[in-house]
Amino acid sequence: MTSALINMVGTATHTITMPTRPPLTAPHFSVCVYCGARPGDEPVFAETARQVGEWIGRHGGQLVYGGGSNGLMGILADATLAAGGRVVGIIPQALVDKEWAHLNCSELHVVDTMHERKRMMAERADAFIALPGGIGTFEEFFEVWTWRQLGYHNKPVGLLNLNGYYDGLLNFLGSVVQHQFMGNWQMDLIAVDSQAPALLEKLVQSAGLHYSLRSEAL
């Protein structure tokens, strides 16, 4: 098993442990996934997180995520690795101290702050997708959407509306447009779909990247 590359980001120094086995090929694309650190109350949440990880791994991709081992985050990372994909986890030291880190990541970067975590996640990704989750997922999704609106990046942003999970949010955003605090062009900056494979394919293609099915990972 490949050991994790651990990047301890402190105020002045970086300590890096290299993996024992480097990747054979570079990933075709890199998708940052935001999702819950809990499994949720319906089996479909966990199954979809597994499906997303499998899709990324089977299509020669790399997962960038928050580095956790719990809930949908852990299921997602495990599925990506099992399907032959690379996993880049980025997690604050405070969560490592709680023993929440996924130590089998292809790369595990331990940072000081949430700001550093989100910056590094954005830099390592070609596209972003939010699965069902809680306040952390919402905050990360809205921030990366805001960054795109401001022109800080032009990477595709997706929202997986699984089983209507985000219906209420989308209805609220529609009312924001109606009240003229936001324009339709801002809504057009996010791709919304209820099916994970369709949304992932759309995001990767929108990023101008390609993918191929890894038969050996099936």
Secondary structure of the chain in HEC code, one letter for each residue: CCCCEEEEECCCCEEEECCCCCCCCCCCEEEEEECCCCCCCCHHHHHHHHHHHHHHHHCCEEEEECCECCHHHHHHHHHHHHCCCEEEEEEEHHHHHCCCECCCCCEEEEECCHHHHHHHHHHHCCEEEECCCCHHHHHHHHHHHHHHHHCCCCCCEEEECHHHCCHHHHHHHHHHHHCCCCCHHHHCCEEEECCHHHHHHHHHHHCCCCCCCCHHHC
Cβ–Cβ under 8 Å, residues 33 and 68: no
pLDDT digits (tens, 9 = 90+) for 148-185: 999 999 999 999 999 999 999 999 999 999 999 999 99
Cα–Cα dist 197/3, whole Å: 29
Residue 213 corresponds to which tokens in the numbers above? 């099915």
pLDDT band at 215 (very low <50, low <70, confident <90, very high): low
- As a whole number, the mean pLDDT across the chain is 89
Residue 83 is assigned to a structural domain of this protein: yes
Distances (CA, A) of 83 to 51, 55, 136, 185, 214: 10, 8, 27, 37, 9
Residue 216 is assigned to a structural domain of this protein: no
pLDDT digits (tens, 9 = 90+) for 65-89: 999 999 999 999 999 999 999 999 9
Residue 214 is assigned to a structural domain of this protein: no
Instruction: Supply the pLDDT for residue 85.
Output: 97
Distances (CA, A) of 148 to 18, 127, 153, 161: 33, 11, 5, 20
Domain residues for the domain of 44 are 5-17+26-207
pLDDT digits (tens, 9 = 90+) for 92-143: 999 999 989 999 999 999 999 999 999 999 999 999 999 999 999 999 999 9
What is the value of pTM for the model shown?
Answer: 0.88
Residue 43 is assigned to a structural domain of this protein: yes
Residue in the structure block whose two tokens are 């399907």: 83
Instruction: Supply the pLDDT for residue 120.
Output: 97
Instruction: Supply the pLDDT for residue 214.
Output: 66
The CATH number for 180's domain is 3.40.50.450
- Whether residue 54 is predicted with pLDDT greater than 50 in this model: the reply is yes
Distances (CA, A) of 179 to 97, 115, 175, 183, 197: 44, 31, 6, 9, 34
pLDDT band at 47 (very low <50, low <70, confident <90, very high): very high
Instruction: Supply the pLDDT for residue 23.
Output: 53
- Whether residue 213 is predicted with pLDDT greater than 70 in this model: the reply is yes
- Any idea which of 50-54, 61-65, 95-99 has the lowest mean pLDDT? 95-99
Residue 213 is assigned to a structural domain of this protein: no
pLDDT band at 205 (very low <50, low <70, confident <90, very high): very high
Tell me how many domains the chain contains.
1
Residue 76 is assigned to a structural domain of this protein: yes
User: In the chain, what percentage of residues exceed pLDDT 70?
Assistant: 87
